[in-house]
Amino acid sequence: MSLIVIYPHPDVQGADIRLDEILRHALEGRQTRTLRRAEELTNLTGERLLFALPLGDTGTNIEYVKLLARLRREPELLKGCTAGLIVDGTSPLYTKSEATELTLAANLAGCAFLGRPLVEGTGSLVNFKVQAKQLNTDLLGAYRAAARELADRLEKESFPKPEKPELLVLHASNHHTSNTMALWSEVKTRLGDAFIVTEIGLRNGTLSDCSGCPYTMCLHFGERGGCFYGGVMQDEVYPAVRRCSGVVMLCPNYNDAMSANMTAFINRLTALFRQTRFYDKALFSIVVSGYSGGDIVARQLIAGMNMNKSFYLPSQFSMLETANDPGEALSLPGIGERLDGFSSRIRGTLLN
C-beta separation of 289 from 297 below 8 A: yes
231 confidence band (pLDDT: 50, 70, 90): low
Query: Is residue 187 over pLDDT 50?
Result: yes
Q: Cα 228 vs. chain centroid, distance in angstroms?
A: 27
What residues have CB less than 8 Å from 297, skipping those under 6 apart?
251, 253, 256, 257, 258, 287, 289
Residues in the chain: 352
What is the Cβ-side half-sphere exposure of residue 95, based on CA atoms within 13 angstroms?
A: 24
What residues have CB less than 8 Å from 219, skipping those under 6 apart?
274, 275
Gap between the Cα atoms of 63 and 60, Å rounded: 9
pLDDT at 214: 44
Query: Is residue 92 over pLDDT 50?
Result: yes
Query: Is residue 208 over pLDDT 80?
Result: no
SS3 state of residue 193: coil
Gap between the Cα atoms of 40 and 255, Å rounded: 38
C-beta separation of 273 from 222 below 8 A: yes
Strand (E) or helix (H) holding 147: helix 139-156
Query: Is residue 175 over pLDDT 90?
Result: no
Gap between the Cα atoms of 53 and 36, Å rounded: 10
Q: How many other CB atoms are there within 10 angstroms of residue 37's CB atom? A: 14
Residues 83-105 have a mean pLDDT of: 97
DSSP 8-state secondary structure symbol assigned to residue 235:
I
In terms of Cβ atoms closer than 10 Å to its own Cβ (0-12, 13-18, 19+), residue 155 is middle
Q: Does 107 or 175 have the greater pLDDT score?
A: 107
26 residue type, one letter: A
Domains of the chain, start order: 3-156 (3.40.50.360), 166-350 (3.40.50.360)
C-beta separation of 91 from 61 below 8 A: no
pLDDT at 207: 56
C-beta separation of 6 from 51 below 8 A: yes
- Sign for the CA dihedral angle at 185, 188, 193, 196 comes to negative
Gap between the Cα atoms of 63 and 77, Å rounded: 17
C-beta separation of 151 from 30 below 8 A: yes
Gap between the Cα atoms of 117 and 307, Å rounded: 6
SS3 state of residue 294: helix
Torsions phi, psi of 241, nearest 5?
A: -65, -40
Average pLDDT, the chain: 91
10 confidence band (pLDDT: 50, 70, 90): confident
Q: Beta partners for 286?
A: 250, 319
209 confidence band (pLDDT: 50, 70, 90): very low
SS3 state of residue 138: coil
Q: Does 106 or 274 have the greater pLDDT score?
A: 106
Residues 257-273 have a mean pLDDT of: 91
Residues 272-292 have a mean pLDDT of: 94
Q: Which of 10-24, 26-40, 294-308 has the lowest mean pLDDT?
A: 10-24
C-beta separation of 53 from 61 below 8 A: yes
